[in-house]
Amino acid sequence: MSVFDDPGLFGRLWAADYDGPGNPDPAPAVDFLAELADGGPVLELAIGTGRVALPLAERGLAVHGVEASEEMLAQLRAKPGGDRIPVVVADMADVPVAGEFRLAYLVFNTLFNLVDAERQADCFRNVARVLSPGGAFVIETFVPDPRSFDSDEQVQVREVTEDSATIRLHRYDRPAQRFIRQTITFDADGVHLKPFAMRYAWPHQIDEMAQQAGLQLAERYADWHRRPFQTDSPSHISVYRAE
């Protein structure tokens, strides 16, 4: 199955390393989301290994999740308290849960893991369906920088040791606003491939998807610390409200 067609592929390939060093500190996101949750319940799409969900649950919030990867879910279940969070195994764009949530959220650029524009729009429409009146949908993504994909193809050296070498290759499809990335490791056991794809969007395009779903932009920040969003900010935290 193509990397563009399999929502669980990322989790199957990366679950074992997902909590490794180099990942963002979830604490600022947890503080921000806990304040918005208004007592809950809350819904995390692509809940992954629970890096954000578990700290929120520890604060007394009822947290629910959607996750496409059984491997990611196994990592969550292995953590203290992970077996008490209800999670539906499904494509996050479908939001196959019932009830009304005070807060739903998608962090760490995960909206872009939906590699089709229509599926991204589906995600907004389905989140709007399960939010309570005045509920919030929070998105964290990078702001695309055309300078980073001036070339249609990129090659990066990630790691070189006496026993292995890892390179990362990107190919961009600028009209479709998509890229495919392949991380390749060569070692004594052979060649190991970890493909990944994204469909990126600019903030105004995300705002349009939200508006079409009946959600309105209420707040936008440059980071979880609520620093002002500027035209040159590399990322944004956007809060959309249900009407």
pLDDT in tens, 103-128: 999 999 999 999 999 999 999 999 99
What global pTM score does this model have? 0.88
Three-point CA angle 235, 30, 56, nearest 5°? 145
- Confidence (pLDDT) at 10: 58
CATH topology of domain 3-144+202-242: Rossmann fold (3.40.50)
Specify the DSSP element, H or E, that contains 49.
none
Q: Where, residue-wise, is CATH 3.40.50.150 in the chain?
A: 3-144+202-242
Q: Where, residue-wise, is CATH 2.20.25.570 in the chain?
A: 146-198
Least-confidence region, from 89-103, 147-161, 162-176, 215-229: 147-161
Residue 48 · residue 23 · CB < 8 Å: no
The rounded distance, in Å, linking the Cα atoms of 20 and 48 is: 13
For residues 182-197, give the mean pLDDT: 90
Which CATH number is 146-198 given? 2.20.25.570
